[in-house]
Amino acid sequence: MSNHGQNEFEFRLLTEDDLEVAVEFVHKNYTLKEPLRQMITKDVEQCIGMDQKRIVKKLKDNASIGVFNKSGKMIASAFSGLNTRAQKSLCCHGDHSSVQWFRYISTLVETLEGSLMDELNTDKFLMLSMLAVDPDYQRRGLAKELVKRSEDIARKLPCEYMVADASSFYTQKCFENMGYVKLKSVDYKDYFDPALNVVPKPPHLSCVVYYKKL
């Protein structure tokens, strides 16, 4: 355990039994706050179904970590999944292809993640996403500790690379401070729905994919 009083929290691998708790946490602390979703749909609640599918898939890989306080409340998360050449893009899953906001996200994800195997010259990597911390527990080093522990999991698989997507400026700074290298980036101004009249606002201006050689 590292600094910032983290010994008062429990870090553990999440299982499929944690699905309900994980979905509730992500809904409140990620889906409703994630910058891109604010720009592509008036009803961000619609996106929870897509995020739930992402959670279900990642839990099956036994590489996602949750942080719990002494009362058992989930207060932070890092969802990781093993990506291989045999897998299709995550956005190929689901039944939202006719929905405008889903097409925006699908296009963005394909742009960012469609050729990562070739760009890294590898057959597999661990992909970290939905890194989130309850606002009441931020600035305690929880996100950094979650990333470190996720890297440990990647090494054991073994994976040569850890890859992470970051849609928030603050998450991007976290990865950069931990030695991650920017691999690809897209500006939100190219992916928001102009009909909503919601434009990207500083500091959240882009979505970035990072990598780190382990």
CA 167 vs CA 33, 38, 121, 164, 173: distances in Å? 10, 12, 24, 10, 11
Q: For 178, list phi and psi in degrees, rounded to 5.
A: -100, 15
Here the tokens at position 17 are: 């039994």
Specify whether the CB–CB gap between 140 and 1 falls below 8 A: no
Q: DSSP 3-state assignment of 196?
A: helix
pTM: 0.83
Q: Which sequence spans correspond to the domains of the chain? A: 6-213
The residues near 6 (Cβ < 8 Å, ≥ 6 apart) are: 140, 141, 142, 145
Per-residue pLDDT of the chain (214 residues; tens, 9 = 90+): 344 456 789 999 999 999 999 999 998 998 777 776 666 555 556 667 778 888 999 999 999 999 999 999 999 999 999 988 876 544 444 444 445 555 656 666 666 666 888 889 999 999 999 999 999 999 999 999 999 999 999 999 999 999 999 989 999 999 999 999 999 888 877 766 566 566 677 788 888 999 999 9
Superfamily of domain 6-213: Gcn5-related N-acetyltransferase (GNAT) (3.40.630.30)
Q: How far apart are alpha carbons 189 and 208 in whole angstroms?
A: 14
